[in-house]
């Protein structure tokens, strides 16, 4: 049985694309994508080739196997695949925000629990999230990370507040997201985007603050 419908749906979710946005990438309609995902039709071969090329996925895999999140992200050589197995016991399961999630008209970021998950060797009891660096995300002028690098963030808890000064971080509240740099003066903590935008850390908004933990960049 062809897996193209399952894989189109998974590609959309991992990349944060609505059916309409996915359709527009390949000159299709939202109804086309819906029919593929519900197994009422299959795309023409030229469309399959376009999808495979766009997402850098072998055509045979797109058609014949259910792709994992790590395969879609081309992380399979580095991270354990989504469903996990005996090797995932000591790895953190982390929600992943891809670059497409921040483009205009994608319907917002949504809940972290609804995002695709990857496994990562983060040996800590803290919560983590991963974000694909993108020009769509506001960041300080000094932000040093390459486009498409995957940045891993640790949730800010009380016991790491003293480590924040001058470290890069992430603010996420609803559909508002930006990278910034922490400034700590006494008990006052701010995540600074630039001279005009900054947010103060408070107990009431603690859920919105994250500290950069690690980065992943492919070397070609």
What pLDDT digit, counting tens, does each position of 46-102 carry?
999 999 888 888 899 899 888 877 677 665 545 544 444 445 555 677 888 877 666
Strand 128-132 versus strand 92-97 pairing type? parallel
Please say if the pLDDT value at position 1 is more than 80.
no
Domains and CATH numbers, the chain: 4-67 (1.10.260.40), 86-216 (2.10.109)
- On whether the CB atoms of residues 32 and 9 are closer than 8 A, the answer is no
Average pLDDT over residues 20-34: 92
What is the pTM for the complete model shown?
Answer: 0.62
Q: How confident is the model at residue 205 (pLDDT cuts 50, 70, 90)?
A: very high
Residue 206 is predicted with a pLDDT of: 92
Q: What share of the chain in percent tops pLDDT 70?
A: 80
Backbone angles phi, psi at 135, to 5 degrees: -65, -15
Which comes out higher in pLDDT, residue 120 or 149?
A: 149
Give the mean pLDDT of the chain.
82
- Tokens coding 18: 């609505």
CA distances from 50 to 80, 106, 220 (A): 28, 21, 24
């Amino acid at each position: 049985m062809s897996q193209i419908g399952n894989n189109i749906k998974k590609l959309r979710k991992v990349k944060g694309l609505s059916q309409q946005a996915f359709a527009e990438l390949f000159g299709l309609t939202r109804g086309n994508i819906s029919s593929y995902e519900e197994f009422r039709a299959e795309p023409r071969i030229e469309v399959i080739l376009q999808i495979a090329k766009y997402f850098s996925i072998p055509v045979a895999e797109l058609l014949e196997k259910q792709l994992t999140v790590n395969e879609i992200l081309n992380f399979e050589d580095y991270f354990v695949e989504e469903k996990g197995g005996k090797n995932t016991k000591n790895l953190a399961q982390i929600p992943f925000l891809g670059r497409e999630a921040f483009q205009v008209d994608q319907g917002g970021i949504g809940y972290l629990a609804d995002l695709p998950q990857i496994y990562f060797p983060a040996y800590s009891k803290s919560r983590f999230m991963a974000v694909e660096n993108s020009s769509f995300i506001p960041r300080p002028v000094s932000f040093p990370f390459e486009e498409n690098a995957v940045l891993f963030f640790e949730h800010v808890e009380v016991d790491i507040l003293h480590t924040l000064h001058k470290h890069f971080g992430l603010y996420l509240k609803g559909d508002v997201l930006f990278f910034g740099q922490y400034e700590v003066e006494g008990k006052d903590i701010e995540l600074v985007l630039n001279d005009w935008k900054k947010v103060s850390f408070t107990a009431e908004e603690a859920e919105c603050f994250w500290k950069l933990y690690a980065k992943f960049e492919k070397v070609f």
